[in-house]
Amino acid sequence: MQTQQSVLEIDLQALTHNYKFITATLSEETKVMAVVKAFGYGSDAIAVARKLIDLGVSYVAVAYADEGIALRKAGITLPILVLHTLPIHCERIIDACLEPAIYSSDILAHFHTVAQKKKQTDYPVHIKFNTGLNRLGFGKEELPYLQEKLPRMNALKVASLFSHLVASEDPSEAAFTQHQIKQFKELADGVEKILPHRPWRHQSNTSAIFNYPEAHFDMVRTGIGLYGYGNSDALNQKLRPVATLKTVITQIHEVAAGETVGYNRAYTAAGPERIATLALGHADGISRAYGNGVGQFLIQGTPAPIVGNVCMDMLMVNVTNIDCKAGDEAIFFGSEQPAATLSKRAHTIPYELLTAISQRVTRVIVNA
C-alpha cells in the first residue's frame, strides 16, 4: 500500500510463512516457544503473538515483566516466559501469571520468598543454565545447590530447564555447540533426578532448529526466524521479512555543484543534483551509521543513497537519476531490500536495525 507518512508494515502472511517453514523441520511432539520480546523484534508484539497463537505456539517469551504484562492486558492468556527476571518485578510477575526464568541463587531465593508471601503452591518457574554464553544462568558448579534447594521449595514447580546456544549458526563453532548441548543434557539430568516430575527442556534458537535437530528436545525457541531472518544467506532466502519500513519524500531541492547538504556540511554535491528529504531520522531508529552513503532507500524501485549525516527527524537522499516528486514513497527495508542487507553495510546485524525502530513510527498490520 502507498503510504503518506512513516510506517512500519507488519505482514502477518509473511509471519505465517516463516512459522510454517520453521516448524516443518520439527516433530509433532516438539513444542514451540515464540519470542516476542522488544515489541516483537521491533514490529508489534500483540499482533504477532495473537497470530502465532492461532498458528499453534505453546509458549511466548519476553525479556522483561512489563512486556508480558502488556500482552496480558491485551488478552493473551498463553503461558509467558520472562527471560530476564529482575527482583523488583517478582511480585508483578506473579500478579500477571507470568513465568520467570530463574538464573541465579539470589533470584531463586527471592522469587521463592515472594511466592510464599503470596501463598503460592507449585508456581511455574524455568531454570536457566549457563553452558558457555556467560550471560545468565546457573553454572555446573551450582548443580548441588539446585539439587538441595529445589525439592524443598513447595511454592515453586520447575516447568522447564533451558540454556542458550552461543553460535549455532556458525559451522566453525560446531564443536563448541556440541559441547553446550552435552553439558545442558548433563545439567538437566542432574536436576530432573531430584524432582517428582519431568520438566520440559529447551535449548535451540532459530539457527539450532535447522542445524542441530538433536537439540530440539521438548520445545524450541524461535525469535529472529519468525520475523524473516535466519543468520545465513541461504536461510534468509527461504524466509520472508515481516516488517517493511516506509516513509515519504517531503521536499526535493535542486542543489548546485559545490553546495553542501545537511549538518556539518558532510556532503558536497559533485554536480547539479536533486536531493530529497525523507520523514525519518535517528530518533526513528535510522542510525547515523547509515549516513554518508552507507544506507540507501528504494524510490520507484531505484536505490537512493543517503547523503550527509542522518538528522534526528529527517534524512536526505540523492534522487538525481530518479523520476520522483514530493509525496512519493521511499522504502528502507522489506522484501526488496532486506534488513540483513542494510545492516551488513553498517557492520551490524538485522536484530539491531529491526529493534531500533522507534515506537513513534506508526505500525500498520497487513494481510491479517
Same domain? For 37 and 184 the reply is: yes
User: Domain with 107 in it: what CATH number?
Assistant: 3.20.20.10
Residues 163 and 247 grouped into a single domain: no
pLDDT for the residue 232: 86
- If asked whether residues 23 and 136 sit together in one domain, one would say yes
Which residues neighbour 154 within 8 Å (Cβ) at sequence distance 6 or greater? 121, 122
The reported pLDDT for the residue numbered 1 is 67
Asked whether residue 4 is domain-assigned, the answer is no
Rounded distance between C-alpha atoms, residue 54 and residue 46, angstroms: 12
pLDDT tens sequence across 297-354: 999 999 999 999 999 999 999 999 999 999 999 999 999 999 999 999 999 999 999 9
- CA 253/CA 274 separation, integer angstroms: 6
Residues 212 and 269 in one domain: no
Q: For residues 192 and 79, state if they share a domain.
A: yes
Out of 168, 201, 229, pick the residue that ends a domain. Answer: 229
Cα dihedral sign for 60, 61, 67, 72? positive
Can you name the residues that pair with 330 across neighbouring β-strands? 247
Residue 98 within any structural domain of the chain: yes
One domain, residues 300 and 203: no
In a domain, residue 236? The reply is no
How far is the C-alpha of 241 from the C-alpha of 232, rounded, in Å? 14
Number of domains in the chain: 2
Mean pLDDT, all residues of the chain:
97
Q: Is residue 235 part of a domain?
A: no
pLDDT tens track for 46-86? 999 999 999 999 999 999 999 999 999 999 999 999 999 99
Cα separation, 128 vs 81, whole angstroms: 12
**pLDDT for the residue 353:** 98
Tell me the pLDDT tens digit for each residue of 230-262: 988 889 999 999 999 999 999 999 999 999 999
Domain holding 35, by residue range, is 12-229
Reported confidence tier of residue 368, pLDDT bands at 50, 70, 90:
confident
In a domain, 259, yes or no: yes
Q: What is the CATH number of the domain that holds 257?
A: 2.40.37.10
On whether residue 103 sits in a domain, the answer given is: yes
- Same domain as 179, residue 54: yes
Tell me the pTM. 0.95
Reading the block at residue 318, the C-alpha cell is: 540523492
Phi, psi of 127 (to 5 degrees): -90, 125
Residues 128 and 221 in one domain: yes
If asked whether residues 40 and 91 sit together in one domain, one would say yes
Q: What is the mean pLDDT of residues 214-239?
A: 95
Give percent of the chain above pLDDT 70: 100
Contacts with 26 (C-beta within 8 Å, 6 or more apart), sequence order: 32, 209, 216, 220
Catalytic residues, by residue number, are: 37, 263
Of 225, 252, 239, 263, the closest CA to residue 317 belongs to 252
Instruction: State the pLDDT at residue 30.
Output: 98
- pLDDT tens per residue, range 89-123: 999 999 999 999 999 999 999 999 999 999 999 99
Q: Show which of 200, 229, 258 is a domain's final residue.
A: 229
pLDDT band at 290 (very low <50, low <70, confident <90, very high): very high
In a domain, 1, yes or no: no
pLDDT at position 178: 98
- Residues in contact with 41: Cβ distance below 8 Å, sequence separation at least 6, in sequence order: 35, 223, 224, 226, 227, 243, 351, 354, 355
- In this structure, the strands spanning 273-278 and 296-299 are unpaired
Of the three residues 229, 259, 280, the one that is the final residue of a domain is: 229
